[in-house]
Structures are given as structure tokens and as C-alpha cells.
Amino acid sequence: MESTTGKARLRKALLDERATLAGREARDAALAARLGDELSRRAPRCVGFYWPIQGEFDARAVVSAWLAQASPEAPRLAALPVVTAPATPLVFHRWTPATPMKEGRYRIPVPADADVLVPDLLLVPCVGFTRDGLRLGYGGGFYDRTLHSMTPSPQTLGIAYDALEIEHLSAEAHDLALDAIVTESATFARPRGTHR
């Protein structure tokens, strides 16, 4: 099992790698196309995603395009996570491209209105990932707590770049594997029958 210090070192190395990735425009275009295909295929009603920080893939254009394809028969909603207090699950507030934003905790923008939604699909940013769905995050545990608290469990798609793949990551008791990891070149689905 990786020590806390080991994970912190790995996290820093991966964040540095992401910050200096070459060819980001082409990588982002490929990731956007792959993510758009996944949203069409999985057909969620409400997508929870994230405001991009520290060089994360910006999913706003993909989610906006997905929202624009809604119909009266198949409405679509999107929501952004809001940290209401430390060490608590995230709450999701409705977002559209026209939503007024305000500064939330950790200086991350959040919707100004508290229109709470419960996503049935979550896009989860990854600092690092394994092909079997394990994710290295920022260390705050927000997504782990959130996923443990959601019933029924939403579909989960990790969002990352190929360069952030880790060969092995020890799962801790609270870690939940994601259903799939989407990168610019592949979608790595968690093998059927494996536990979260």
C-alpha cells in the first residue's frame, strides 16, 4: 500500500505532468469527442461534472452541447459540485451555460443559485488512474464520501489524460472504483463483476 507521503509525491508528479502536457488542444478535442460519445451512449438524465482547476480537462463545452440536444420527451440537466463544509459529501447545484456563478470554497466557482439536483451520472476528475477504475484525487476525499452517500449509485466516468495512468494503486477501504475512465485515446471500462 502506498504511504500518505508516497501518494503525495505521486500526486505532485502527476500534477506537474498534467501542467506541462504537450499538444493539449488536440488531446482536449479527442477527449471531448470520446466523452460526448459516452454521454450519448449512457443517456443520463442529469450529469454532475466539475469546474476545471489545475489543468483538468474542461468539460463545459461537451456538457453544453449535450444539454442543447435535450427535447421535451428527453429533458437533460447538468449540475456542478458545491462543498458545503469540510469532510462532507458534495452537493450538486444546477448549471447551464447561462448560470450566474459565484466563488465557492477553495475559490472554485459554483452556481449562484442553490437549485439542488441529484445526478445519475458523475464526471469525476482524476489526478491519476488505473485501468481498473481506481482514481487518485487531490486527497480531500470529497468524491469518495459523495459516492458512498448516493443511493442509488450514479454512473461514474473518470476524466483524465493518457499520461496520468498509473500501473498500480492500492485501494483503501473507502475507495470506490469508477465505472470507466475516459482519456483522449481510450475508454477503460471497469471489468464486469468487479466490485466498486
> Which residues contribute to the annotated binding site?
7-11, 56, 135-143
The residue type of 89 is P
Q: How many CA atoms lie within 13 A of 130 on its CB side?
A: 14
The residue type of 79 is A
Binding site for ATP, by residue number, is 7-11, 135-143
In 10-49, which ranges are E strands? Answer: 46-48
CA distances from 20 to 12, 37, 50, 107, 161 (A): 13, 27, 21, 23, 12
What one-character DSSP code corresponds to residue 35?
Answer: H
Enclosing H/E stretch for 103 = strand 101-103
Binding site for substrate, by residue number, is 56
CA distances from 11 to 16, 58, 125, 128 (A): 9, 20, 13, 7
